[in-house]
């Protein structure tokens, strides 16, 4: 059996879909559905069982999953960069992750892959290297990023990373992110704006070296993020922390342009002020260093931004009835 925590979430559900396409359906999905519409991500998936994350942890610590599990994808976390309940983030992102990892640490034949985050890099002033020597030097800009960094540091100090992989996902976008609310990608929010009013709103720049909409991100399509993830499933001898980006930063104007092109609309961008207080926590540039991943034998080419947006819009957003359900929310 394979365990996927956060299996109803954005990246988690796409991992389950890819596993299904590879013929694997003996999957235990662990999540917390609550009052959200996240359950809709599960409808087309094939899996063995579902466990609420709290019930799962209780059963885990009673030893009910000590046998028969050959892979764990720990994608479950509160991913809100604006979450202000630090105790909740510590319980959900750090404590849960530590207890899960401790239970499965160094089990023979078990593959463990977990989600870290590019949010650990903060403002990028010390770079975007995934070398282990940089972990303690990073200064995240929000509590979410710090909760992820804390687990990375724990995994390094305890030796857990000798038998596990942590992936620092950069700006992932693509199918099954509807439920994420304010944490939806700019691509999805822009799609709703463009189809509703034929205009896309982007933040103004407060730094002279960046034009309005010229702020840059390492955008990665979720299909590519999943390919990176499953690459490590096939290479149990490779462990440690790795960036999961493309190594090619693009600006928000490029993203908006790709969206308008996919919709066959004339570009129409409105630049708006950032919410008060965001200026000091805003990242103007992110770019993953990808040498370490490539050294492990990952040879796939990443989908160019324009092609990824085209695929997202034409093969998912315009065909998925959920697009109408979530529009305006």
Backbone phi, psi, residue 6, to 5°: 70, 25
Distance CA 191, CA 170 (A): 20
Q: What is the mean pLDDT of the chain?
A: 94
Compute how many other C-beta atoms are within 10 angstroms of the C-beta atom of residue 295: 10
Backbone phi, psi, residue 313, to 5°: -70, -55
Q: Minimum mean pLDDT among 71-85, 146-160, 295-309: which range?
A: 71-85
Distance CA 311, CA 307 (A): 6
% of residues, the chain, pLDDT over 90: 82
Under a CB-based contact definition with an 8 Å cutoff, are residues 104 and 69 in contact?
A: yes
Distance CA 243, CA 288 (A): 6
Distance CA 186, CA 190 (A): 6
- What is the pLDDT, as a whole number, of residue 181? 87
Helical (H) or strand (E) element with 244: strand 240-244
- What is the pLDDT, as a whole number, of residue 329? 66
Percent of the chain as helix, strand, coil, to the nearest 5: 45, 15, 40
% of residues, the chain, pLDDT over 70: 99
Tell me: the pLDDT tens digits for 209-259? Answer: 999 999 999 999 999 999 999 999 999 999 999 999 999 999 999 999 999
Helical (H) or strand (E) element with 117: strand 111-117
Catalytic site positions:
144, 180
In the CATH scheme, what is the homologous superfamily, with its name and number, of domain 2-171+220-244? NAD(P)-binding Rossmann-like Domain (3.40.50.720)
Distance CA 6, CA 16 (A): 10
Tell me: the pLDDT tens digits for 282-324? Answer: 888 999 999 999 999 999 999 999 999 999 999 999 998 787 7
Encode 147-184: b = buried (16+ Cβ within 10 Å), e = exposed.
bbbbbbebbbeeebbebbbbbbbbbbbbbbbbbbeeeb
If you average pLDDT over residues 94-111, what whole number do you get? Answer: 92
On the question of pLDDT at 80 being above 90, the answer is no
Identify the CATH class of 173-218+248-289+301-326: alpha beta
On the question of pLDDT at 2 being above 90, the answer is yes
If you average pLDDT over residues 102-108, what whole number do you get? Answer: 88
On the question of pLDDT at 185 being above 70, the answer is yes
CA separation, residue 231 to residues 17, 21, 84, 113, 227 (Å): 15, 15, 34, 11, 6
Decide: residue 290, CB within 10 A, 0-12 exposed, 13-18 middle, 19+ buried. buried
Q: Where are the domains of the chain?
A: 2-171+220-244, 173-218+248-289+301-326
- What is the pLDDT, as a whole number, of residue 83? 79
- Provide the pairing of β-strand 250-251 with 216-217: antiparallel
On the question of pLDDT at 46 being above 90, the answer is yes
| DSSP structural state of residue 184 | S
- What is the pLDDT, as a whole number, of residue 296? 97
Q: What is the largest CA-CA distance in the chain?
A: 59
- What is the pLDDT, as a whole number, of residue 107? 87
Backbone phi, psi, residue 38, to 5°: -60, -25
- What's the CA dihedral at 213, 214, 217, 220 to 10 degrees? 70
- What is the pLDDT, as a whole number, of residue 328? 65
Distance CA 147, CA 175 (A): 26
Q: How confident is the model at residue 276 (pLDDT cuts 50, 70, 90)?
A: confident
Tell me: the pLDDT tens digits for 136-145? Answer: 999 998 989 9
Decide: residue 265, CB within 10 A, 0-12 exposed, 13-18 middle, 19+ buried. middle
On the question of pLDDT at 269 being above 70, the answer is yes
Compute how many other C-beta atoms are within 10 angstroms of the C-beta atom of residue 281: 15
């Amino acid at each position: 059996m394979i365990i996927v925590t956060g299996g109803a979430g954005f990246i988690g559900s796409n991992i389950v879909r890819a596993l299904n396409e590879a013929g694997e359906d003996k999957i235990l999905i662990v999540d917390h559905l609550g009052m959200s519409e996240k359950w809709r991500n599960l409808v087309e998936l094939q899996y063995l069982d579902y466990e609420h994350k709290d019930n799962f942890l209780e059963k885990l610590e009673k030893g009910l999953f000590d046998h028969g599990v050959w892979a764990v994808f720990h994608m479950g976390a509160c991913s809100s960069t604006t979450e202000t309940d630090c105790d909740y983030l510590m319980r959900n992102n750090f404590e849960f992750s530590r207890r899960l990892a401790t239970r499965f640490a160094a089990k023979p034949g078990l593959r463990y892959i977990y989600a870290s985050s590019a949010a650990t890099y903060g403002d990028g002033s010390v770079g975007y290297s995934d070398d282990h020597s940089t972990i303690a030097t990073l200064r995240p800009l929000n509590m979410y990023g710090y909760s992820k960094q804390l687990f990375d540091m724990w995994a390094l100090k305890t030796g857990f990373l000798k038998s596990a992989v942590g992936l620092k996902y950069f700006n992932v976008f693509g199918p099954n992110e509807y439920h994420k609310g304010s944490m939806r990608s700019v691509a999805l929010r822009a799609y709703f704006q463009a189809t509703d009013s034929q205009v896309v709103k982007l933040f103004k720049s407060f730094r002279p070296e960046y034009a309005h909409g010229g702020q840059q991100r390492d955008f990665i399509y979720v299909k590519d993020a999943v390919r990176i993830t499953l690459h490590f499933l096939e290479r149990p001898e490779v462990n440690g922390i790795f960036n999961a980006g493309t190594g090619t930063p693009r600006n928000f104007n490029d993203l908006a342009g790709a969206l308008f092109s996919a919709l066959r609309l004339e570009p129409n961008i409105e630049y708006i002020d950032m919410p008060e207080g965001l200026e000091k926590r805003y990242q103007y540039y992110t770019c993953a260093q990808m040498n370490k991943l490539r050294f492990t034998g990952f040879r796939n080419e990443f989908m160019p931004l324009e092609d990824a947006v085209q695929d997202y819009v034409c093969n998912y957003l315009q065909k998925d009835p959920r697009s109408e359900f979530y529009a305006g929310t």
